[in-house]
Amino acid sequence: MEYLVYLVPLLACLAWYFYRRFRLVRVSKTTREESHEAGLTEPASLHPLVDPKKCIGCGSCIKACPEMPHHTVLGLINSKADLVSPTECIGHGACRAACPVDAITLVFGTARRGVDLPRVTPWFETNVAGVFVAGELGGMGLIRNAVEQGRQALEQIVARRPRGRGEQLDLVIVGAGPAGFSASLAALEKKLRFVTLEQESLGGCVFQYPRGKIVMTQPATLPLVGKMNMTLTSKEQLLEFWLEAQRRTGLEVRCNERVEAIARDDDGFVVRTTQGELRAATVLLAVGRRGTPRKLGVPGEDLPKVVYRLIDPDQYRGQRVLVVGGGDSALEAAASLAESGAMVALSYRGDAFQRAKTRNRDRIAAAVDAGRLQLLLKSEVKAIAAERVAVVQGGRGIHLPNDAVIVNAGGILPTDFLKSIGIEVETKWGTA
């Protein structure tokens, strides 16, 4: 009888363990099937690649994923970890750190969809000695990771590159988004002589997001400032925090100054901007990947009513708006416009939103059900006129009454700019 005192709790624990594991496997299989049926099989950026020969199926990576339990990104299939919802992965990288057997590699692109990235070393330096890359340009789109990478890149610059001589700056930082802002604070902390340039406003790509967009789901740590204890943070909250951090630290950012060229000098670089020239020993590129917005190339695209990003949905209230694109930016813009009282049509050439997150697809579905949004899958814009837009869907021509067009078809990597500096660009097909 005394054995029962130990046996019963043990059996209860085992039963609870196998029940939870069975439930996880069931959810994993369902999620993977739903992803494949919806065509949502391509991760947007950095994502885990699991080696089934090494994986022991412990589930540590699943528990570590910061997107859980809101999204089932990783699951268990045949007792091995699997990326069951690729489009929900936003590249936290916590899964790799949590794996006890080193079975996870973080990679860019897949065998079906390549991702163009500048060639960089593990210490963020490009093939052009003295030019470093951090943040979104290097594929690190997640704000928390970009903030961390900006700090790490600055530390490598301090450790590996000489300071400026005479009137020469130690460093020019190009971009004041998450990576550039973090690197600038770190440079201030290290007492470098540096200048930070931003072609628009503090926040970079974050400043361009639609009003109210949730931009962070996990805390991050900034040099000189400390931990940003914010979750589910909106664009406005994050920018307000950064502006306060800028005020407190005295960080100077030269906004509305665009870099036009970077050339090798005798012992460093000449950075030519719209405001003049700077000389520096080192350059850190912390700009976005979008570069130039991808255009449609159709008649009428040069009309004033055509724009390439949405800032304030309220300005379109009561107007007839066409949104073009199938990624998260397009879906967020279309949903926000519909929720703000615009009459919206969403045109996408594909038959499913393969790169969009579930919450954005759900917002679109809700807007369609409420009659606030017209969804045009497998469609292409053919021409834009002052009061209408010509669209072809399934071989049938459609003329939509229209007041405004917002094109969210992604951006073109600033390859020409990078190549003008001498930086090599490579395509990643599921590799680190």
Q: What is the pLDDT of residue 109?
A: 81
Fold match, 116-291+413-428 / 293-410: yes
Q: What is the pLDDT of residue 211?
A: 61
Q: Which of 357, 409, 347, 346 has the alpha carbon at shortest distance from 378?
A: 347
First-residue to last-residue Cα distance in the chain: 57
Q: 64: exposed, middle or buried (C-beta count within 10 Å: 0-12, 13-18, 19+)?
A: middle
pTM of the model: 0.72
Q: How far apart are CA 43 and CA 60, in angstroms?
A: 21
Please provide the CATH number assigned to the domain covering 293-410: 3.50.50.60
Q: How far apart are CA 86 and CA 59, in angstroms?
A: 17
Question: Out of 3.10.450.50, 3.40.50.20, 3.30.70.20, 3.40.50.11890, which CATH number does the structure's domain 2-107 have?
Answer: 3.30.70.20
Q: How far apart are CA 202 and CA 231, in angstroms?
A: 21
Q: Which fold has domain 116-291+413-428?
A: FAD/NAD(P)-binding domain (3.50.50)
Q: What is the pLDDT of residue 291?
A: 58
Q: Reduced to 3 states, what is the DSSP secondary structure of residue 257?
A: coil
Which residue type is seen at 330?
A
User: pLDDT below 70 — which residues of the chain?
Assistant: 1-6, 8, 17-19, 38-39, 69-70, 140-141, 204-218, 230-233, 290-292, 354-355, 412
Domains in the chain: boundaries? 2-107, 116-291+413-428, 293-410
Q: How far apart are CA 175 and CA 190, in angstroms?
A: 19
Beta bridge partners of 120: 126
Residues 6+ apart with CB under 8 A from 40: 85, 86, 87, 352, 353, 354, 355, 356
Q: What is the pLDDT of residue 90?
A: 72
- Burial pattern 227-248, b for ≥16 Cβ within 10 A else e, equals ebebeebbbebbbebbeebbee
